[in-house]
């Protein structure tokens, strides 16, 4: 179990950092020294409890709140040999976001790492260390690039296990293989019943597996049913994953007034056939889905099923093109099941 310090007031920010131009290529040692010297943030207060390999609880200690605040960041693409200074900028901007928004947890919706292999070992060491300096839970799902570059899901899992604040789970499928899907319950100390749940899914990487699998959906249904029985009610939940669902494309191809935000590239839903959202709707607990993958789509809108479909907001300096990097603040009502979204940029 891990404890944290006092939580700062809520703020909303829309300014961005001014960065110094790159003057020369840094050595790996220099870049690592810069990363490890970033200041420590001590604001939030919570406890992480691991009930099972695929079931976690994040217990919030501060009282008097009216919402649960999650900061979604996505597609950081860290660890490329030629972009170390961009990684430094990414970490600084993320730290500023965490400090300014004071989220209860940070959710990283995939492609935390680049596919480059030369910095694999160093990246696995320094990235969890830097994230831990946020002093609050960070929840990770796999993107299609994360297992590349000599990494594997197992090695990434081991790296997160060594982290103090990282949350990454898995369950065993019928064929004996591990699937990296897991459930996170959010509770309060004085009220240890689930307020919200997050279901984190591995949406695949290689050809033939770039979607949330049937085994993962069966796991989700089983866990959802267990939660309903234990809680005596349907607990409102989010689904977070990397590759968008087919319905994201259908939403943007319909009435554009139904979506808010930017669509600057085709929806790359890869191999999703539409079944995932049907299962979510049938289960009755998912209120919103959050993904990444498409760097220059950040729109969101409500599907006819009533489920909110939302992209994240590009967060990695290595992938910046259309707008300054930032994140998405997700506010979940504790007096109902309402979901509010804010695009947030550091200043």
Mean pLDDT per block of 10 residues along the chain (347 residues) reads 39 32 46 51 74 97 85 94 88 97 97 84 88 97 92 94 96 91 94 93 95 97 97 97 98 87 96 98 98 97 97 93 93 95 96
Q: Is residue 3 part of a domain?
A: no
- Do residues 231 and 196 lie in contact, with contact meaning Cβ atoms separated by under 8 Å? no
Whether this prediction's pTM lies above 0.85 is answered by yes
Cβ-based neighbour number of residue 221 at 10 Å: 14
- Do residues 302 and 332 lie in contact, with contact meaning Cβ atoms separated by under 8 Å? no
Report the sign of the C-alpha dihedral through residues 226, 186, 248, 87, in that order.
Answer: negative
Domain residue limits at 199: 34-344
Q: Is residue 97 part of a domain?
A: yes
Q: For the chain, what is the total number of helices (H) and then of strands (E)?
A: 7, 17
Distance between terminal CA atoms of the chain? 33
Question: Residue 317: its pLDDT value, please?
Answer: 94
Q: CA 188 to CA 10: how far, in whole Å?
A: 18
Q: CA 275 to CA 116: how far, in whole Å?
A: 33
b/e for 316-341, b at 16 or more Cβ within 10 A?
bbbbbeeebbbbbbbbbbbeeeebeb
- From the list 183, 250, 184, 174, the residue with the least C-alpha distance to 213 is 174
Q: Is residue 15 part of a domain?
A: no
Q: In what helix (H) or strand (E) does residue 289 lie, and over which residues does it extend?
A: strand 286-291
Q: Is residue 5 part of a domain?
A: no
Phi, psi of 38 (to 5 degrees): -60, 140
Question: How many structural domains are present in the chain?
Answer: 1
Question: Residue 25: its pLDDT value, please?
Answer: 47
Question: Residue 4: its pLDDT value, please?
Answer: 38
The CATH number of whichever domain residue 119 belongs to comes to 3.60.21.10
Cβ-based neighbour number of residue 171 at 10 Å: 19
Q: Is residue 17 part of a domain?
A: no
Q: Is residue 1 part of a domain?
A: no
- Do residues 158 and 168 lie in contact, with contact meaning Cβ atoms separated by under 8 Å? no
DSSP helix/strand/coil, 207: coil
- Do residues 8 and 42 lie in contact, with contact meaning Cβ atoms separated by under 8 Å? no
Q: CA 213 to CA 105: how far, in whole Å?
A: 26
Q: CA 156 to CA 188: how far, in whole Å?
A: 29
Q: Is residue 237 part of a domain?
A: yes
Q: Is residue 252 part of a domain?
A: yes
Phi, psi of 163 (to 5 degrees): -75, 150
């Amino acid at each position: 179990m891990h404890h944290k310090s006092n939580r700062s007031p809520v703020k909303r920010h829309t300014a961005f950092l001014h960065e110094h131009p790159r003057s020369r290529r840094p050595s790996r040692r220099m870049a690592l020294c810069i990363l490890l010297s970033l200041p420590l943030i001590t604001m939030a207060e919570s406890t992480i409890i691991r009930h099972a390999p695929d079931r976690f609880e994040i217990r919030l200690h501060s009282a008097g709140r009216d919402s649960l605040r999650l900061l979604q960041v996505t597609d950081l693409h860290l660890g490329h040999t030629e972009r170390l200074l961009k990684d430094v900028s990414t970490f600084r901007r993320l730290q500023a976001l965490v400090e300014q928004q004071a989220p209860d947890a940070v959710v990283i919706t995939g492609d935390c790492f680049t596919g480059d292999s030369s910095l694999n070992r160093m990246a696995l060491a320094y990235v969890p260390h830097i994230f831990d300096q946020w002093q609050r839970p960070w929840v990770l799902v796999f993107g299609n690039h994360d297992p590349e570059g000599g990494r594997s899901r197992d090695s990434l899992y081991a790296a997160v296990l060594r982290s103090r604040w990282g949350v990454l789970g898995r369950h065993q499928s019928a064929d004996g293989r591990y699937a990296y899907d897991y459930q996170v319950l959010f509770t309060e100390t004085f009220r240890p019943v689930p307020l919200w749940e997050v279901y984190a899914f591995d949406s695949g990487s290689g050809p033939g597996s770039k979607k949330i699998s049937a085994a993962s959906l069966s796991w989700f249904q089983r866990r959802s049913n267990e939660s309903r029985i234990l809680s005596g009610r349907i607990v409102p939940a989010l689904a977070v994953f990397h590759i968008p669902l087919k319905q994201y494309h259908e939403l943007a191809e319909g009435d554009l007034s139904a979506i808010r935000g930017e669509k600057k590239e085709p929806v790359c839903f890869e191999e999703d056939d539409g079944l995932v959202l049907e299962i979510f709707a049938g289960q009755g607990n998912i209120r919103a889905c959050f993904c990444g993958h498409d760097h220059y789509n950040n729109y969101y809108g409500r599907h006819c099923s009533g489920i909110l479909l939302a992209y994240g907001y590009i967060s990695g300096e290595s992938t910046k093109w259309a707008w300054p990097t930032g994140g998405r603040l997700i506010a979940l009502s504790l007096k109902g099941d309402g979901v509010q979204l804010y695009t947030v940029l550091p200043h």
